[in-house]
Chain A
C-alpha cells in the first residue's frame, strides 16, 4: 500500500466518523462573512445548542461559498440528509431555524436558500436551480464553503493530494510539465502567460544549473503570488481562506515538475485569516509527510515558507516581489533575465498566482484532457470573478471561459439594482478597462478582453451604473497607480502624475478640451516605455473611458456638468418644492447647517454653505433632494 493510499484511508475514516452520527452546523466565516455579522450567528448557534440538549451537532466555521449578498449564511447538514442553506440570517432567526429543524423537523423558513447537491426537499430549491449558481462552473472553488479549511482530512477526502500522489508516484517531472502544457492553463494573475511554458523554461534552467554547479544549497524556487492587490478583488483571499491546501498542493507539484526544492507564499498582510489558515495547512501537510523531506516516501523533498507582504501594489510584479522577499524595496528589474532564468537570489524561480496553482491538482488528478474540456480554444478552463459594485447579486463567482459579460451581469448578477441603467463593467482593476453596454455580448476570454482595450486581470469585475462618473473612475484608478508607482522609471513616475493632474482638473471643472489630446498623447508613451506592468497598464482605464465615454469627458469640460452627478465641483443640491413635506430630517442631519426651514415648511439648501456631502439626499425618505435638478 502506497503512503498516499494509507493517508486517504485515514482521511476517509476521520471524515466519516466525524459526520456519521453527528449533524454539522456550518457558518461561513470568511472575511466577508465576518463583516456581515457571522460571528453573532456563530454565538447564536452555540447558545441555542447549549439551551437545547436534544440538539446534537457540531458547530463549525467554513470558508465562503461565494453567495456574498446572502451573508451571513447558516448551513445545516444532518447525516443521511442533504445539506440545507439559509441566509441572510439574524441571530434570532438562527435560533428559530435550528429549533425548527432539529426539534420539530420543519425545514421550511422564509430564509431557506437552497438544498446543496440534492433535490430532496421540493419546497426548497436545489442550489443548481438558483439563478446565481445555475450558470456557474466550479473547479477553482470546488471546495470553498464545502470543506472545513482547517482540517486536512476534509481536503484529502475530497480528492486532495491525489494529483500530487499521481505526479510523484506515477509520473516523471517532464511528464508533469507536459500535462500542464497540454492543459493549456494560462496564468490567472492577469497577463495570461501559459503556465506550462513558464515551467519548461525554469525546468531547463534548473537542470543546467545542477549540471554546472553541483553543490549549491538550492536550485530552484516556486513562489505563490498571493499579493492580491487589485482594489475590488478578493478571489484569491477566498481560495486561501476556504481551501488553502489546494494552493499548497499546486506548489509542491510545480516544485517537482521543475526540480525546485523550496517554495514561498507571498501573501498580503491585509489577509490575516488567510495567513492563519495557510500556516495551519502547512503544518498539517508536513505532519502527513506531504511536505518536507522525502514526500510520500519518494526521493523528492520540498518545503514552503510563508512571507507576509508589507503593502505595496507593485509587489504583484514578479521582479518586485522577488526584491521584497530578499528584504529590499519592492522595485522591478528589467526583464530579461526572466525569473525562470534568474530569480530569487539569482536562482531560477517560477512565480504563479494562487488561482493558477489551485488548478494544478485538478489537472493532475483528472488529466489535462478532462480539465481542458471547459473554456474556449485559446482560453481553457474556468475563471473566478469578484462580482461587485452596482449589481444586485454580489459575490464570488466562477464561470467557464467564453461566457458573455451579459450572462454574468444579468443571469448570475441579477442585473442592476434600483431600476437603474447599466453603464460599464470594469475588469482587470487598475490595469484593466471599462467596457460599455455595446460590449455586453463580449465573451470573457483573454483575447476578446484585450481587443476591447481591457484585460482579463486577476478577476475583479466591478459593475457601474448611470450614477457612476466615468471621468471620476479614471481619476480614481490613476490616483491608485500614481500612489503605488515605485518611482524607479520616469514614464510611470511622472507620466501617471501628469495624467492624474489632468483628470483631477477635469473633474474640478477646470479642464480644457486640449486636455483630452494630451491624455491621448501621454497614454501610449507611458504604456510603451514603462519598466513594468504597473506603468505599462496604468493608462488602460483612461484610454477605455476616453474611447467609450468621451461625451462624458466633454460634458465636464465644455458644459461644466457631471452627467452622473458625482463630481462635487460641478453639481448643486436642491430640494424639490413639491415632494418636500417639511419633516426636518435633512435639516437636522446636515453637518454644516446649510438647510433652512421649519416643520411642515419646504426646506431650502444654501448652495454656498453646502459641501455636497450627500447626507440630506441619503436621509430623505421622500426622494425630495435633487442633484442638478435630477433624482439620482
Chain B
C-alpha cells in the first residue's frame, strides 16, 4: 500500500505524543512508527535529531531549565548556567548527571523576558534569579533527595 503524503504529516505529532508519554523517544517507538507510517527509521531519526524538542535518552528525575534568551543573556544567564553546571558537576556539554538525578536544559526563550534571568526547576519558575540563588535551589533538592533516601533505608 502506498502511503499518501498526508500520512507523513502525522510523523511529528506522533513523535511528540511518544515524548509526552515517555519523556523521550525510545528506539522501539521509532521502529513501530516506521512500520505504521511506512517511513524508514533513518528518515525518522533524521527528523528526531533535527528538532531540538526531541530527546533520545531519558531525562533526569529533576529538570532544571535555564532560559538563554537575549534578555536573560544580558542580565546574567551565562553566570547562572555556569553556577548550576558547577553545582551538579556537569562537564563537556553533558546535560544529565551521571546519577540520573538532574537534567539541565538551556532553553532558547521562555518569553518571560521581563523577569530575566529566568530558571524553571521542576514546576517552580523563578525570575530575577542570581547564581547564588540558583545553586541554593539545586542544593535544596539534593538535600531533600538524600533525606528521602535515608528515610527509605531506615524503613527497610
Name the B residues within 8 Å of A468 (CB-CB): 74
Is B74 touching A313 in the complex (CB atoms < 8 A)? Answer: no
State the Cβ distance, B47 to closest chain A Cβ, in Å.
6
State the Cβ distance, B90 to closest chain A Cβ, in Å.
14
Kindly list 5 other residue pairs between chains A and B, CB separation below 8 angstroms, not including A71-B114, A229-B109, A327-B10: A231-B71, A232-B70, A233-B111, A327-B9, A462-B71
From B6, B16, B69, B132, contact of A232 by CB (8 A): B69
1/0 per position for B86-126, CB-CB distance to A under 8 A?
Answer: 11000000000000000000011111111110100000010
The distance in angstroms between the C-alpha atoms of A65 and B54, with both chains bound, is 33
Interface CB pairs A-B, < 8 A, 10: A35-B125, A229-B109, A231-B108, A237-B111, A310-B16, A311-B53, A327-B8, A329-B46, A345-B6, A389-B70
Is A311 touching B47 in the complex (CB atoms < 8 A)? Answer: no
Name the B residues within 8 Å of A18 (CB-CB): none
From A429, A486, A591, contact of B70 by CB (8 A): A429
A330 is an interface residue with CB less than 8 A from chain B? yes
A386 is an interface residue with CB less than 8 A from chain B? yes
Given the contacts A36-B115, A613-B131, A473 and B47 also touching, CB distance less than 8 Å: no
Residue of A nearest to B118 (CB): A35
Residue of A nearest to B108 (CB): A231
The distance in angstroms between the C-alpha atoms of A480 and B108, with both chains bound, is 9
B63 is an interface residue with CB less than 8 A from chain A? no
State the Cβ distance, A306 to closest chain B Cβ, in Å.
10
B1-59 contacts to A, CB under 8 A, are 5-6, 8-13, 15-16, 39, 46-47, 50-54
The distance in angstroms between the C-alpha atoms of A228 and B108, with both chains bound, is 11
Name the A residues within 8 Å of B50 (CB-CB): 312, 329-330, 486
B145 is an interface residue with CB less than 8 A from chain A? no
Residue of A nearest to B15 (CB): A310
The distance in angstroms between the C-alpha atoms of A429 and B118, with both chains bound, is 18
A508 is an interface residue with CB less than 8 A from chain B? no
Is A68 touching B115 in the complex (CB atoms < 8 A)? Answer: yes
Given the contacts A232-B109, A312-B52, A615-B83, A34 and B125 also touching, CB distance less than 8 Å: yes
B127 is an interface residue with CB less than 8 A from chain A? yes
A538-597 contacts to B, CB under 8 A, are 589, 591
Please count how many residues in chain B sit with their CB below 8 Å of the partner chain's CB atoms. Answer: 48
Given the contacts A31-B112, A35-B125, A426 and B9 also touching, CB distance less than 8 Å: no
1/0 per position for A460-474, CB-CB distance to B under 8 A?
Answer: 101010001000010
Name the A residues within 8 Å of B73 (CB-CB): 231, 473, 476
State the Cβ distance, A313 to closest chain B Cβ, in Å.
7
Name the B residues within 8 Å of A77 (CB-CB): none
A300-348 contacts to B, CB under 8 A, are 307-313, 324-330, 345
The distance in angstroms between the C-alpha atoms of A462 and B86, with both chains bound, is 28
State the Cβ distance, A527 to closest chain B Cβ, in Å.
21
A430-485 contacts to B, CB under 8 A, are 460, 462, 464, 468, 473, 476-477, 480
Given the contacts A32-B112, A35-B127, A395-B114, A389 and B71 also touching, CB distance less than 8 Å: yes
From B52, B53, B113, contact of A394 by CB (8 A): B113
Q: Which of B16, B47, B74, B135 has the most CB of A within 10 A?
A: B74
Q: Which of A388, A468, A613 has the most CB of B within 10 A?
A: A388
The distance in angstroms between the C-alpha atoms of A326 and B70, with both chains bound, is 31
Given the contacts A234-B113, A310-B53, A36 and B74 also touching, CB distance less than 8 Å: no
State the Cβ distance, B7 to closest chain A Cβ, in Å.
8
Name the B residues within 8 Å of A380 (CB-CB): none
Is A270 touching B83 in the complex (CB atoms < 8 A)? Answer: no
B79 is an interface residue with CB less than 8 A from chain A? yes
The distance in angstroms between the C-alpha atoms of A464 and B130, with both chains bound, is 19
Is A36 touching B132 in the complex (CB atoms < 8 A)? Answer: no
Name the B residues within 8 Å of A311 (CB-CB): 51-54, 108
Is A389 touching B75 in the complex (CB atoms < 8 A)? Answer: yes
1/0 per position for A612-625, CB-CB distance to B under 8 A?
Answer: 01110011000000
From A36, A269, A388, contact of B113 by CB (8 A): A388
The distance in angstroms between the C-alpha atoms of A270 and B52, with both chains bound, is 11
Residue of A nearest to B133 (CB): A618
Is A619 touching B132 in the complex (CB atoms < 8 A)? Answer: yes
Is A32 touching B115 in the complex (CB atoms < 8 A)? Answer: yes
The distance in angstroms between the C-alpha atoms of A476 and B10, with both chains bound, is 35
A402-441 contacts to B, CB under 8 A, are 426, 429
Q: Which of B50, B70, B108 has the most CB of A within 10 A?
A: B70
Name the B residues within 8 Å of A388 (CB-CB): 70-71, 113-114, 116
Residue of B nearest to A423 (CB): B74
Residue of B nearest to A589 (CB): B132
The distance in angstroms between the C-alpha atoms of A352 and B35, with both chains bound, is 35
Is B127 touching A36 in the complex (CB atoms < 8 A)? Answer: yes
Name the A residues within 8 Å of B69 (CB-CB): 231-232
Is B113 touching A232 in the complex (CB atoms < 8 A)? Answer: yes
Name the A residues within 8 Å of B115 (CB-CB): 32, 35-36, 68, 71
Name the B residues within 8 Å of A619 (CB-CB): 132
1/0 per position for A223-235, CB-CB distance to B under 8 A?
Answer: 0000011111110
Q: Which of B46, B51, B52 has the most CB of A within 10 A?
A: B51
Is B110 touching A31 in the complex (CB atoms < 8 A)? Answer: yes
Residue of A nearest to B120 (CB): A35
Is B70 touching A231 in the complex (CB atoms < 8 A)? Answer: yes
Is A614 touching B79 in the complex (CB atoms < 8 A)? Answer: yes
The distance in angstroms between the C-alpha atoms of A477 and B69, with both chains bound, is 10
A102 is an interface residue with CB less than 8 A from chain B? no
Is B86 touching A591 in the complex (CB atoms < 8 A)? Answer: yes
Given the contacts A35-B125, A312-B50, A613-B131, A473 and B112 also touching, CB distance less than 8 Å: no
Is A394 touching B114 in the complex (CB atoms < 8 A)? Answer: yes
B60 is an interface residue with CB less than 8 A from chain A? no
From A229, A325, A591, contact of B83 by CB (8 A): A591
Name the A residues within 8 Å of B131 (CB-CB): 613-615, 618
From B71, B110, B132, contact of A270 by CB (8 A): B110
1/0 per position for A257-297, CB-CB distance to B under 8 A?
Answer: 00000000000011100000000000000000000000000
Name the B residues within 8 Å of A324 (CB-CB): 12
Name the A residues within 8 Å of B83 (CB-CB): 591, 613, 615
The distance in angstroms between the C-alpha atoms of A619 and B87, with both chains bound, is 18
State the Cβ distance, A179 to closest chain B Cβ, in Å.
32
Name the B residues within 8 Å of A386 (CB-CB): 111, 113-114
